[in-house]
Amino acid sequence: MQKGSRKESASMIEKKINSLGGYGLFASQIFLPGTLLFTEKDWYADIALGGWEVHSIEEVNRFPESEKEMFLKYSFDLSFGKTMGTFSENHVHNLTNFLNHSCGPNTQFDGQDNIIAKGTIYPGDELTIDYGSFVVNFDQSFQCFCGTSHCRSRIKKEDWKVLSLNPENKFPKFLSEAILLSNQIPV
């Protein structure tokens, strides 16, 4: 797979059960660092099919607990204060929804809204991303079992601040822009 090429990457990624008993995405070929795995279009594909909604933090916090939990399960933050999610797994189709978290991920955003290989990914490797690199509105309810030496155990909405201190980490466009602006503000 050529660096920056996505032509065949979707067919080279399989959704299957992972070691924790949930769905995950697995490479069926080598992906070199920088290989484009998912575009912004992929990330937002389910939205066009319907059943996805944008809500503010305040609105989500007013949902009954079971609805809030379902909405946040596949949600992703669009900006500080706004998140998009669904109330039904029937609206979850795109592979990007099954990209699991790791505190030592092998994929990351590219500073825009595309997801690329962070390092070399081998056939059979589960594709993972650090949820702390794009979660800014809600702490995650699950406990992390990634097993890396720097596992944070819980994913918090403030994790991006620490992750942004490492220039090798990349973020979605809205967060990249916020980090750039915050670095320009004199302290």
Q: What is the CATH number of the domain that holds 155?
A: 2.170.270.10
Does the residue 54 lie in any domain?
yes
Does the residue 3 lie in any domain?
no
Q: What residues contact 181, with CB distance under 8 A and at least 6 apart?
A: none
Does the residue 118 lie in any domain?
yes
- Number of folded domains in the chain? 1
Does the residue 1 lie in any domain?
no
* pLDDT of 40 over the 70 cut: yes
Q: Name the DSSP letter for residue 56.
A: E
Question: What is the span of the domain harbouring residue 128?
Answer: 9-184
pLDDT confidence of residue 106: 97
* pLDDT of 8 over the 60 cut: no
Task: Give the phi and the psi of residue 118 in degrees, each rounded to 5.
Answer: -80, -35
pTM of model > 0.85:
yes
The single residue listed with the structure tokens 């979605």 is 172
Does the residue 42 lie in any domain?
yes
Confidence of residue 10 (pLDDT cuts 50, 70, 90): low
Confidence of residue 142 (pLDDT cuts 50, 70, 90): confident
Q: What residues contact 16, with CB distance under 8 A and at least 6 apart?
A: 23, 24, 26
